[in-house]
Structure 1
Amino acid sequence: MNLASQNQLRSAWRTLSAYTVLCAVLLSQHGILAAAPLSVGSALPEMKFKDQHDKPVVIPPDTRWVLMASEKPVSDMVSAVLSAEPAGVMTRMRLVYIADISGMPALITRMFALPKLRELSYSIALVREADEVAFIADFPRQTGTATLLRLENGRISSLGAVRTAAELRSGLGLPPATYVPGN
């Protein structure tokens, strides 16, 4: 290969490299601009998960509530509230519960978490894999709270963060829990 051909080849590679860098920058900027946190008026994006029984979970268009927890103490609080309700409450309320367990080590998930979750009488959409984490990346979150979204026609009509069982019950319009002596 002569010197002129080598110079042309280097020039072509520099041009291609410059275009590659430019495309990467533009695509990353587009990603930053497109990823806005969900807020009132936002359409709920299409999401696909699997529940604790490995069955597909999609959020149907008539869903009224989406509840998301991403910390174990918060998930325990949500589970306590939902477990205290009669069977089928989530269906009647058109409620989808999403639990982010992606940070849990796989061995712990398989040996301990999933067997315990399978004992529950309701479905939990589990966030376990990176592609599922992307579905919830735009959910507003606060440490120590569950995110509660109210939907109307697939759009968020209100959103809140609930810390306690009483706040969750109130947010969902459930009656206050009754105290049973001896429990």
Structure 2
Amino acid sequence: MLNPKIRRFLNPTTLLLAALLSGSALALAAPPQPGQPLPELALKDQHDQPWTVSGDTKLVLFAAGRKASNLMQTVLTGQPAGFLASRQAVYLADMSSMPGFVTRTFALPALREMPFVVGVVLDEALLADWPRPDGAVALITLQNGRVNTVSHASTEASLRAALGLVP
């Protein structure tokens, strides 16, 4: 049994206040808004290496959910190493809704086989306000680090077009 003085300190209000003061609750990335700088993202890739969006990036492909991820995989499968970099594009995958066992056992090993780097989001709160079109990939175009447009691709053809792939 905890000492009553310690138990009083560990109440939810005190813990929330401590989290806010420590800055951990402020680590959430604001949604991308046209005209605003892309929120800074300091994540890991599928190889557990640091991943960020570089200043010369022109397109962020954000896949949240199974359908969007499958669409990305379909379009990117067979593309050569360096394909995304040659288009100044990055792929960001939100895997936070996936059970941890599935992520570690199947999803991440599959991504490690791909010839491109994928930024991986495992904390559901981190990008909770980012666009998540149902079954589609969010396309965030950038110009000099600022968000230019936010749209989506829900078909193979529209994603190929966004990546400059001709049929």
Q: Give secondary structure in 1 for the equivalent of 2:150.
A: strand
Amino acid at match of 1:150: T
Distance 2:88 2:143 in 1: 11
User: What does residue 4 of structure 2 align with?
Assistant: none
User: What does residue 15 of structure 1 align with?
Assistant: none
User: What does residue 72 of structure 2 align with?
Assistant: 78
Give the drift of 1:44. Answer: 0.1
User: What does residue 119 of structure 2 align with?
Assistant: 125
- TM-score normalized with structure 1 length: 0.71
Q: Is 1:144–2:135 an aligned residue pair? A: yes
Q: Give secondary structure in 1 for the equivalent of 2:98.
A: coil
Structure 1 or 2, whichever has the larger Rg, is: 1
Distance 1:123 1:101 in 2: 15
Q: Is 1:153–2:147 an aligned residue pair? A: no
Bigger drift between 80-89 and 49-58 goes to 80-89
Amino acid at match of 2:37: A
Distance 1:160 1:122 in 2: 23
Larger helix percent = 1
Q: Give secondary structure in 1 for the equivalent of 2:84.
A: helix
Change (3 A) 1:111 1:37: closer
Q: Give secondary structure in 2 for the equivalent of 1:107.
A: helix
Give the drift of 1:54. Answer: 0.6
Amino acid at match of 1:69: A
RMSD (Å), alpha carbons? 2.4
Q: Is 1:69–2:66 an aligned residue pair? A: no
Q: Residue 98 of structure 1 is aligned with which of 56, 74, 92? A: 92
Amino acid at match of 1:173: G
Q: What number of residue pairs does the alignment pair up?
A: 145
Distance 1:96 1:111 in 2: 24
Q: Give secondary structure in 2 for the equivalent of 1:139.
A: coil
Q: Residue 157 of structure 2 is aligned with which of 163, 166, 169? A: 166
Q: Residue 114 of structure 1 is aligned with which of 88, 108, 112? A: 108
Matches within 5 A, 1:14-53: 37-53=31-47
User: What does residue 14 of structure 1 align with?
Assistant: none
Q: Output one character per residue of 1:82-106: Cα deviation in whole Å (capped at 9) or x when no partner.
A: 2232221111111110100011111
Q: Output one character per residue of 1:25-82: Cα deviation in whole Å (capped at 9) or x when no partner.
A: xx9xxx9xxx864232121010011111111101111111100011112101111212
Give the drift of 1:129. Answer: 2.5
- TM-score normalized with structure 2 length: 0.77
